[in-house]
Amino acid sequence: MEDARDSEEGLVLAISYFICIGLNSADTIKNKFDAYNITGWVVSVAPIKELAVQCGSVKVTPGIVLKPSKAENPPNVTWDTDHSLHTLVMIDPDVPAPDGYGWGPQFLHWLVVNIPENNSVANGDTVSHYYPPTPPDNSGEHRYILLVYKQNGTISTRNPLYDDDFNVNNYSKKYELGSPVLGNFFLASYEKEGDSYEYSQNDDSQNVTTHATQTDVAPTDQREPETQGSAKSSQLINLFVTTLLFLLHFLFSFAILR
């Protein structure tokens, strides 16, 4: 009897743990997309999970500031397999200059469809080859957004694609892709020769610095007030959700063990 009770308690703990991890991850990426005006403007619905993206030696976390030359080669993009075909798209909604939203045509940097279930981008069908970030001078920080969609079937690559008038929402509707299942994004501005950069998270977490100077990246408290407020609100929401989940876990455990 005692062994059965221990097994039930262990099962409850495991389920609660994975629920907490899953909801916290989804909540974090959603809050980031909301804070940077991506949700509702660039995509209708935020991704469910964070996409693992590596640009050279730098791990991309949502909102990180990158030197454009760090992304001169295609990023290494990975996600868990689910035995489906996927579409990978990378866009810049801030051309020719950021307006803070990005509701119009977007610059298409990369588009690969029919990525097989092993999630090897190289084995997918490239519709638009990778074009590295090249934000114009005096145009501010651009958002470079990577999204992964789950396909319902194979997408034909015979249809012409007009890069100058690309819109990820229209493309998603055309091929019935629905909402993105994974996503990530980084920020980059015009890179002058000899510039030094600080690869930093806008919320000051897990900073990675390379030849950094204080003038290269604006300090966190000098960035957009709306973004700062949203980040603080996101932290409070995350704390509330985590606390609520743990409370539910204990109530659930108590009910089972009675």
Give the model's pLDDT for residue 97.
73
49 Cα distance to chain centroid? 8
Give the model's pLDDT for residue 104.
73
Evaluate whether residue 245 is within a structural domain.
no
149: domain range?
A: 38-218
Span 55-69, average pLDDT: 96
Residue 136 and residue 89: Cα distance in Å, rounded?
21
Whether the pLDDT of residue 80 is over 60: the answer is: yes
The vertex-136 CA angle with 218 and 112, nearest 5°, equals 100
Whether the pLDDT of residue 173 is over 80: the answer is: yes
Distances (CA, A) of 142 to 121, 134, 204, 221, 253: 24, 9, 19, 19, 47
Whether the pLDDT of residue 5 is over 60: the answer is: no
Evaluate whether residue 115 is within a structural domain.
yes
Give the lowest-confidence range in 101-105, 110-114, 183-187, 203-207: 203-207
Distances (CA, A) of 2 to 9, 53, 230: 11, 46, 48
> What are the pLDDT digits (tens) for 34-49?
999 999 999 999 999 9
Whether the pLDDT of residue 245 is over 50: the answer is: yes
Evaluate whether residue 24 is within a structural domain.
no
Q: What's the number of domains the chain is made of?
A: 1
Evaluate whether residue 2 is within a structural domain.
no
**Peptide linkage before 47 cis (omega within 30 of 0):** no
Which band of pLDDT confidence, cut at 50, 70 and 90, is reported for residue 216?
very low
Helix extents (H) in the chain:
2-35, 168-174, 225-257
User: Strand, coil or helix: what is 115?
Assistant: strand
Residue 117 and residue 109: Cα distance in Å, rounded?
23
Which band of pLDDT confidence, cut at 50, 70 and 90, is reported for residue 159?
confident
> What are the pLDDT digits (tens) for 217-242?
333 333 333 444 444 454 455 556 55
For residue 116, the domain's CATH number is: 3.90.280.10
Give the lowest-confidence range in 16-25, 72-81, 169-178: 16-25
